[in-house]
Structure 1
């Protein structure tokens, strides 16, 4: 989803960005407390946390900054949303870990895992839909795909397997939740993205010219494609 300048309708977009990132961090806390396996990057955060005195959120912020350094050879440029991703996610994850109790029974943990995965997919749609630019990890994937010429799916898979393996070797939690996240978060995010994506005036103008429904669902006049039968 393309970047939209910071100054365009900030009162509409900034709350979406902050809410989405806050929910994302909280969803990570739910999956951590479920103790049934977390997503690949959280496996790394947990693993690093076992060997340092840093909190989960602090580790995520440090890793985010280190990932940003990898943007330099990839010629990626951070945006406001990139830095917000690092800061808000770290704070909300640590807050969530303070609010959600530990050592719950299996049924409660299963519920936390399901809620965490669902909330994670929703939150990605909300903050990505604000169109303030990618977070550090997403930018690494898109930048590496652009430089190598490989598909985004392949690059993402390689990065996440590498991160997962490193986190597991450091003692991060891998389990059924890791598999559930890998299978479910993509479809959940895809379902919610159209419902939360910000559409700029330019987007709406193009949609109307192409005969697509506007935000209210009213169809503009259809312009026939010259190549169509």
Structure 2
């Protein structure tokens, strides 16, 4: 049990890092547009300064405040780490990765970024140590409104993307691609990552991933 506990946290931390890398790769190809939340973060950066990663943390904090008030409880430590590390890694990778001036370069980095993002989500979600603030908000709305995850996710992302677009964030075909494709790829990446985690940790029962 001790071994699976350690590996769950390793997967979580590596997954958040890979997710951040994927997000940054799509930002480097932003002529095509970026994910709905990143449209908002970039729009806020253009209007109010601070970095994209810092706005990711700030919006995460706002969402945690709202969800905590509704649920009347603080989220798990994984949610706090997700929020903080995601923003810090986005800024780190944004500094490390070069700019891509040609359209071909932007298409390539964006496409690779979508795949990297999807596997980052699969890796960080697989150990079940805490959902990100935005995922927690989605689950609360599903419960309160009584509608499907797909509809709630779409509603949130449309609202966020429009708000970001009004602030000058880059909306394009890439925004639609991310909104439509990420969930489809995660549908395959998540079970793959769970199987890999269990194999590395020497466990056979997937239920061990849901033990708090």
TM-score by length of 2: 0.88
Aligned position for 1:29: 24
- Structure 2's unaligned 5+ residue stretches are none
Distance 2:207 2:90 in 1: 39
Pairs within 5 Å for 1:146-157: 146-157=143-154
Alpha-carbon RMSD: 2.3
Name the structure, 1 or 2, with higher relative contact order (CA <8 Å, separation 6+).
2
Residues 186-221 of structure 1 deviation map (CA, whole Å, 9 limit, x = unaligned) = 1211111111125699982879xxxxxxxxxxxxxx
- Structure 1's unaligned 5+ residue stretches are 1-6, 208-229
Aligned position for 2:9: 14
Distance 1:201 1:104 in 2: 46
Change (3 A) 1:152 1:73: farther
Change (3 A) 1:77 1:148: farther
Distance 2:202 2:124 in 1: 19
Q: Is structure 2 residue 43 aligned with structure 1 residue 62?
A: no
Distance 1:137 1:53 in 2: 22
Aligned length: 202
Distance 1:52 1:8 in 2: 45
Kindly report structure 1 stretches of 4+ aligned residues shifted beyond 6 Å. Answer: 200-203
Aligned position for 1:52: 48
Pairs within 5 Å for 1:92-103: 92-103=89-100
TM-score by length of 1: 0.81
Residues 80-134 of structure 1 deviation map (CA, whole Å, 9 limit, x = unaligned) = 2101111110111011111112242111111100011000100000000011021
